[in-house]
Amino acid sequence: MSEVIGKLSDDHVMSCSRLPALFGMSPWSSPNDELQKSMRAWDESEAGRDPSHLRDAAGEAAAWGHKLEDTILEEGAARLGLEINTQVLERFDCKDLPLQGSMDGILEGDGRVVEHDPAAGIYVLNGSSVTLEGRGVAEAKLTRANPVDTPPAHRGTLQVQGLMMCSGYQWGAIFTLYQGTELRIYLTHQDDATQAKIREDVIDFDARMELYTTQRVTDWYPALSPNDAASAFPNPESDLPPVDFDGEHSQLVMDLIAAKAAEKASRELADKISTRLMDFIGMHPGGLAKDDDGVVFAEVKWPMNAARKAYSVEAKPAARAKSLRVKELTL
């Protein structure tokens, strides 16, 4: 099961669902990835093409979440005793910020004050209670993860704060179905500190986009990983000389040399220890390690690798390496 999940927001403008990545808190995307997506979407639009084809296809979990969205929303609303509109076709644009969002549903509050009550599956995220006054943001999430009292930023919390900024609603609910068997309701009201950070980061993102769209200059974010850096700088410019490291970055080179040496030494030590243990295990499938009191503290397995058929490696274009090579020079 794989499909592209539709959305109402423009691809070249920051949207509430992308805020976790913009914050560097997404497992799947970095700030540079989001900047690159928006730049590509802008280029497609400028060329008169629909940029929606650039969107990533949803994995099976996301596709099931989309299919079960209304069911999750309706059940969550029923447990709160509220009416809900699950057919929200309008886009919400923040009045004073280049931020857009679309909601899974809109709840009709009844003025009640709902307390934090884990026994009832209700969790208040930023306080002890939430007043269900006026309309509220509703988001549905489906995950295979274990239930938690506080969901991570990428599972709705930042998105709902952004949607409240776009809509003016004062509260929101995240209905999360865990492993298909447990529904938890997370209630939240506007969080000033979080919304201030959203405002700061969205303004910064928009400035980077304006620089690209007006001057064709890309102002990348600091890389979060070697993969992120290789994606941001995929091809070195052949006419540029090697960079001269300043004192700070020369020290980083020395640190990298030391880290690689330590990694090599650690790997060699691990190989020596593994060899001795394998000799001791022999034809047995593994063994049990015990402490001085005879209590088992570890199980060691020496498994068989699964058989693998021969295959040819698919051709792929050259790409910038995901690691640095360091050659020490004789002084």
Residue 109 neighbours by CB under 8 Å, 6+ apart: 82, 131, 132, 133, 134, 135, 136, 171
Residue 280 neighbours by CB under 8 Å, 6+ apart: 287
Q: Does residue 86 surpass a pLDDT of 70?
A: yes
The whole-angstrom separation of Cα 316 and Cα 275 is 37
The whole-angstrom separation of Cα 226 and Cα 324 is 9
In 3D space, the residue among 120, 109, 115 whose CA is nearest the CA of residue 83 turns out to be: 109
Q: Does residue 330 surpass a pLDDT of 90?
A: no
Q: Give residue-wise pLDDT tens across range 134-167.
A: 999 999 999 999 999 999 999 999 999 999 999 9
pTM: 0.81
Q: Does residue 56 surpass a pLDDT of 80?
A: no
pLDDT of res. 8 = 66
- What domains can you pick out in the chain, each with its CATH number? 14-212 (3.90.320.10), 249-301 (no CATH)
Q: What is the average pLDDT value for the chain, to the nearest integer?
A: 92
Q: Does residue 327 surpass a pLDDT of 90?
A: no
Q: Does residue 4 surpass a pLDDT of 80?
A: no
Q: Give residue-wise pLDDT tens across range 5-19.
A: 445 678 889 999 999
The whole-angstrom separation of Cα 24 and Cα 33 is 10
User: Residue 58: which pLDDT band, with cuts at 50, 70 and 90?
Assistant: low
User: Residue 96: which pLDDT band, with cuts at 50, 70 and 90?
Assistant: very high
pLDDT of res. 1 = 35
